[in-house]
A and B are shown apart, each in its own frame.
Chain A
Amino acid sequence: MSTARLMQGNEAVAEGALMAGVRFFGGYPITPSTEIAEGMAKMLPAVGGTFIQMEDEIASMGVVLGASLAGRKVLTASSGPGISLKQELIGYAAAAEIPVVIVNVQRVGPSTGQPTAPSQSDVMQARWGTHGDHPIIALSPWSVREAFELAVRSVNLSEQYRTPVILLMDEIVGHLREKVELPDEVEVYPRRQPKKSRAEGYEPYTPDEDLVPNIANFGEGYHIHVTGLIHDETGFPVGSPKVTEDAIRRLHQKIERAVDDIVAVEEIFMDDAEYAVVSFGGTARTVYEAIYEARERGIKVGMLRLITIWPFADKAIYELASRVKGILVVELNYGQVVNEVRRSACGRCPVELCAKYNMQIFEPEEIEDAIDRMIEKVERSGGFRAEGRSVNVEVISHD
């Protein structure tokens, strides 16, 4: 362990990415993500890496994909407006199976929105921002230490599954400084290597046992063709229904079969909990205090904190909904994760929403109040609802 120091969430992302082996950063500055680029610009040259500021976010996404295909571990970082611009090439990375980590330090949107204000409103953009059937991985940290850890994990997952990974930060954690002790080394997933030579009939997109292909890096003696068109094992486009179906199915299955490895949640104060709050990212810090205070008043409430946002924690939420009387989803947006929780809860318990979208983070009292109102509503309605449909009485906090 290194000595304790004060560090910002964005700085921790840069430190984590570097320790996970990232040696190429391409980006274009935008608040509140810029400190990630600054950190990489400072640190990369010292380890023989490359930092490049491109002319815009689209080119930034293109340049990191090129570097990844040439064998570098790569990172780019932006915020909502920039992430919108990157979407076409995020889809390209999903289709061509190029490892890449995209950090989104969320701010208030839509469009340029409120540049310096916190938000968690890009949850669905992370999932469906780019078009077409595709899987995605997205992770969301609640502390500076976890920003470091999830930066490492994002790089490792992108390499293991050859997929784009979104590190879904929020301004709360991105700009927060707190005391951290970082490890001296971390576990690193190496770039996958071809298992056959050209003479042995190597095909870049032939999947391994885990359904992930071992695509050779450019410049290492193999002939590689990369395209966003649907392709077969050779990497060249094919216009057949069977190849199309197989390609789309395998893209999904390589993630679906590994979902237990990828999905992480943390349960806090859940041992004896009769009610649960589901939250994530910086907002979960305030939920923690609200739950602590509610418990002081004798209310048995706990929290399930989503660490992996995508793929969604379907199983964990279903199990949670089967053992509590009600769930309150607390998110700093108009209501996005709540619909995923309702879907996963399958009507096993009512699911209510506590939403906020006025530039301000939650205060613990607002969440405590929402917990009280959720419990009151559940008790009034007699608990479990056979129809499983919870009328959305939003517990929105206004100024």
Chain B
Amino acid sequence: MRTQMRLSGSGGQGVITAAIILAEAAVSEGKQAVQSQSYGPEARGGASKSEVIIDDGKIFHPHVKHPNCVLAMTQKAADKYFEDMDPNGVLVLDSDLVPSVPDVKNVVQIPITKLAVEKVGKALFANIVALGALVKLTKIVQLDTIKRSVAKRVPPSTVEKNMYALQLGYDAVA
């Protein structure tokens, strides 16, 4: 089975890092995964998008078509990236940063950045909060697997906070 995910926002929000962690988790569960990205020349603030395809078989073309799940961390990203979604796919929005909700069947609104700032202490953890929510929604990897992948990627001194951020996102989905 093929799962296609698109994580989008602006440069600095960590959507590419979140996508890499997700792909790493899938690989560690023995699946095939391909992660690609596109971003502007700016280090911060430009449009940023990363796509992950997870499959049991080989993956050639690296871009997603009709994603099962789209994460949008800015209004611009939400407006741009929902259109080609699978009709049964789910659109995950940062509820504070995306006030205008696109017309999609399945929308999940989570105060991703707000949770990161108020509960974990920094907006920096927003991508990991989002990752927790994505894993709960898609069940693409086990919670334990994504925990291990996050712990491997982040600076050792921040593992505890990142685990908390991940759980926050996971629990934010009903």
Q: Nearest chain B CB to A369's CB is how many angstroms away? A: 15
- Given the complex of chains A and B, what is the CA–CA distance between A204 and B48 in angstroms? 53
Which one of A76-84, A92-100, A283-291, A343-351 is at the B interface? Answer: A283-291
- Given the complex of chains A and B, what is the CA–CA distance between A4 and B61 in angstroms? 20
Q: Which residues of B contact A364 (CB under 8 A)?
A: 61
* Closest residue on chain A to residue B31 by CB atoms: A179
**Would you call A116 and B39 a contact (CB within 8 A)?**
yes
Neighbour of A285 across the interface among B23, B31, B40, B61, CB < 8 A: B61
Q: Which residues of A contact B41 (CB under 8 A)?
A: 31, 115-116
B121 at the interface (CB under 8 A from A): no
Residues 25-83 of B contacting A (Cβ, < 8 Å): 27, 30-41, 59-63, 65
Q: Chain A interface secondary structure, helix, strand, loop or mixed?
A: mixed
- Given the complex of chains A and B, what is the CA–CA distance between A286 and B61 in angstroms? 4
- A285 and B60 contact, Cβ closer than 8 Å, known pairs A6-B24, A31-B41, A116-B41: yes
**Would you call B27 and A288 a contact (CB within 8 A)?**
no
Assign chain A's interface to a size class.
Answer: 20 to 34
**Would you call A172 and B27 a contact (CB within 8 A)?**
no
Q: Nearest chain A CB to B33's CB is how many angstroms away? A: 6
Neighbour of A6 across the interface among B20, B37, B61, CB < 8 A: B20
Q: Nearest chain B CB to A180's CB is how many angstroms away? A: 9
* Closest residue on chain B to residue A180 by CB atoms: B27
- A178 and B38 contact, Cβ closer than 8 Å, known pairs A4-B27, A6-B27, A6-B33: no
**Would you call B59 and A178 a contact (CB within 8 A)?**
yes
Interface residues in chain A, defined as those with a beta carbon under 8 Å from any beta carbon in chain B: 4-6, 31, 115-117, 172, 175-179, 282, 285-286, 288-289, 361, 363-364
- The 10 lowest CB-CB distance pairs between A and B, nearest first, are A177-B35, A285-B60, A288-B60, A289-B61, A286-B61, A6-B24, A6-B27, A115-B41, A178-B34, A179-B27
